[in-house]
Structure 1
Amino acid sequence: MQIQPVLKKFALLNQYPSLIHAFSTRKGGVSDPPFHYLNLGLSTADDPERVKANRRLFFEALNIKEDRLVFPQQVHSANIQIVKKAGVVAECDALITDTPNLFLTVQTADCFPVFVYDPQNKVTAVIHSGWRGTAQNIVGKTIRAMRETFRCAPQNILVGIGPGVQKSCYQIDEKTAQYFDKQFLSPDGPGHFKLDLLEAIVLQLTEQGVLLEHIERDATCTHCATDEYFSYRRDGNYSGRMMGVIGMVK
């Protein structure tokens, strides 16, 4: 078993030496099946001590001290918080900071993790965007908050969208479909549709002025990539969690 975490990064963000970012896969780590191996979710039924060990491996691989982390208490909302210190932020699905050596985190297992960086104003953000958050335009609202609070110019903002459940595997019912424009929906049997959540997120970004060439996507489907990513839609309560992190060092 490979213990060292296998991490992914965005080329668009990787060009800045003072920016640390990554999102995890399920490869590496110490958890036993069905949470094998790099489960980073303490809310799962996995052994908490193994999850804590996995987190240590993850953050050590990035040279991040755990007392400099911010954890949003994700509730599938459009709540956004500007943070200046480490800790847990209640009922929140997006974090923004201009504080160096403060690292923002997000956990996913089908929802999309969105990483945001303004290299001009030195502002970072991270967003948890599942269908509920996307229906409430959490990504667009986060970009707007960066503009209003930190005077970030949208054309300078860079975005990496991590892996999530892709349209081919994302069937929804009519009740959920009503929250989305028809351009993101494809009929999939009586009363059901396939939802392109990734493209809905991209539109929210460009509507706020983010340039399309400043958006990098990992189009891997978490539901399909059984050996690479956890998926709640695929595995239910036996699914672990991936984690993303972004922050600036002095």
Structure 2
Amino acid sequence: MKTKIYMDNEKLIAGITLKDASMPEDGNMALHSCTDPSLILQNRSLLAASIGCDLNQFVCANQTHSSNFYKVTRDDLGRGAASKETAIQNTDALYTYEPDIALCTFTADCVPVILYDHSSGLVGVIHSGWQGTIKEITLKMIDYLKQNETCDPKNLYIHIGAAISQEKFEVDQDVYDQFKNLGYADEYMYFNEKTNKYHISNQQTVKRQCELAGVPSAHITIDETCTYINNEGFSYREDKKAGRHLTFVMKKQ
């Protein structure tokens, strides 16, 4: 089981799984995009063991490119871990204050976001594909935490995980216009005259959303690995049948 650990200290562990040809289904972690669900559960169980928990401590959502988020409690333990049907429905971001719950999000080019509040102990994950970025899911969730969970954005630390690079994320006018309408993404886009396509950095746009929500720039890190180019990346743009990375965060006791 190949994983890239982004954070591992006395308070939390967080990281992302990687594509691995030696693993069942190349290390795919997604029940919604697989050939054999039993192999996905095998992969998930290996991940759980590697980070010091059981599979029934995973909590997963049925991601729909929405701007919806959900507060996870101990009552949610195991939701979506072994079955799509038990996942938290129509949700693309999860957060919790509870220890020993592995919050999970699935991506193959989309931007995974991990957040941690060093004051309150809150942890969270966000799935921000380009549609989620247009809907400002990250900005909205941080604003919600600020207003409803007494979370000070200055105490947040954000890690933006591996995703498709600006070089490989090429779009037509309609998607460009939606990013343009955000009013703050212009510097993260360029036009390629040879291909008549626009190129957008979804990661940098998400970073800007964090900054607009009040997170200090110094508290934001980015994994610039391109999931399209890198052979350890799952890329939906490269292969519509691609598996998925699992990005996780778990607060420790």
TM-score, normalised by the number of residues in structure 2: 0.89
- The Cα shift of 1:184 comes to 2.3
Q: Which residue of 2 aligns with 1:8?
A: 4
Q: Which residue of 1 aligns with 2:187?
A: 183
Greater Cα shift, 114-123 or 183-192: 183-192
Is 1:67 the counterpart of 2:56? The answer is yes
Q: What is the 5 A alignment of 1:45-64?
A: 45-64=34-53
Greater Cα shift, 161-170 or 46-55: 46-55
Q: Which residue of 2 aligns with 1:103?
A: 102
8 A contact 1:30–1:53 mirrored in 2: no
CA RMSD of aligned residues (A): 1.5
1:40 and 1:64 map into 2 onto residues whose CA distance is: 16
Residue type of the partner of 1:52?
A: L
Q: Which residue of 2 aligns with 1:230?
A: 234
1:214 and 1:151 map into 2 onto residues whose CA distance is: 19
Q: Which residue of 2 aligns with 1:243?
A: 246
1:79 and 1:48 map into 2 onto residues whose CA distance is: 26
Residue type of the partner of 2:115?
A: V
| Of 183, 192, 198, the match for 1:193 | 198
SS in 1 for 2:237: helix
Runs of 4+ displaced beyond 6 Å: none
Is 1:82 the counterpart of 2:77? The answer is no
8 A contact 1:119–1:157 mirrored in 2: yes
8 A contact 1:6–1:28 mirrored in 2: no
- The Cα shift of 1:83 comes to 1.6
Q: Which residue of 1 aligns with 2:82?
A: none
Is 1:207 the counterpart of 2:212? The answer is yes
Flag structure 2 segments of 5+ consecutive residues without an equivalent.
80-86, 181-185
Deviations 1:147-194 (A, max 9, x none): 122211111100111100010001101111111133222112475201
Q: What is the 5 A alignment of 1:109-120?
A: 109-120=108-119
8 A contact 2:5–2:16 mirrored in 1: yes
Q: Which residue of 2 aligns with 1:23?
A: 16
SS in 2 for 1:77: coil
Residue type of the partner of 2:233?
A: Y
Aligned residues: 237
8 A contact 1:29–1:39 mirrored in 2: no
TM-score, normalised by the number of residues in structure 1: 0.90
Residue type of the partner of 2:213?
A: Q
1:45 and 1:215 map into 2 onto residues whose CA distance is: 32
Residue type of the partner of 2:59?
A: V
Query: Identity over aligned residues, as a percent?
Result: 27
Residue type of the partner of 2:240?
A: G
Residue type of the partner of 1:27?
A: D
Residue type of the partner of 1:195?
A: I
Deviations 1:68-99 (A, max 9, x none): 22111100010111121221210000111112
Q: Structure 1 residues 105, 29: CA separation in 2 closer, same or farther (over 3 Å shift)?
A: farther
SS in 2 for 1:127: strand
1:45 and 1:205 map into 2 onto residues whose CA distance is: 33
- The Cα shift of 1:28 comes to 6.7
8 A contact 1:29–1:54 mirrored in 2: no
